[in-house]
Amino acid sequence: MARERTLAIIKPDAVSRGLTGEILSRIHQAGFEIVAIESLRLTKAEAEGFYAVHRARPFFDELTTFMSSGKVVVLALEAENAIARWRELMGATDPAKAAPDTLRRLFGSSIQNNCTHGSDAPETAAFEISYFFSGRKLV
């Protein structure tokens, strides 16, 4: 398997509940290398730009309002098969349907407040990483 990169976001619900350290610890335990990390607060316009692919979906406004409601931690992660492995560690979008010991099952409270975001494909990962990190910020 080839090494690849994926974007991870620790969402506002997790940051506000003090779960950043626990989630980072689990990222390290799972063998991911953090090649870039930043704590920030998205503006509504930045959240809309990031989630533009979902603009026509009924949840778009609620999602972008939520993602701009507080601090987030964005990370570029690297590992073999990073996209699939990060998605497995996160668990299903709905915490009630997520596998035991996944981040969303352990810490999520709803489909929206599910603590984490992750890229779903190599093309998505490339766009998402570049949205937050210029080449000079990536180790």
Chain centre distance of CA 4:
16
Catalytically active residues are 117
**Angle in degrees, CA 62, 82, 2, rounded to 5:** 145
Helix/strand/coil for 133 = coil
Contacts of 19 (CB under 8 A, 6+ apart): 10, 107, 115
Residue 6 per-residue DSSP state: E
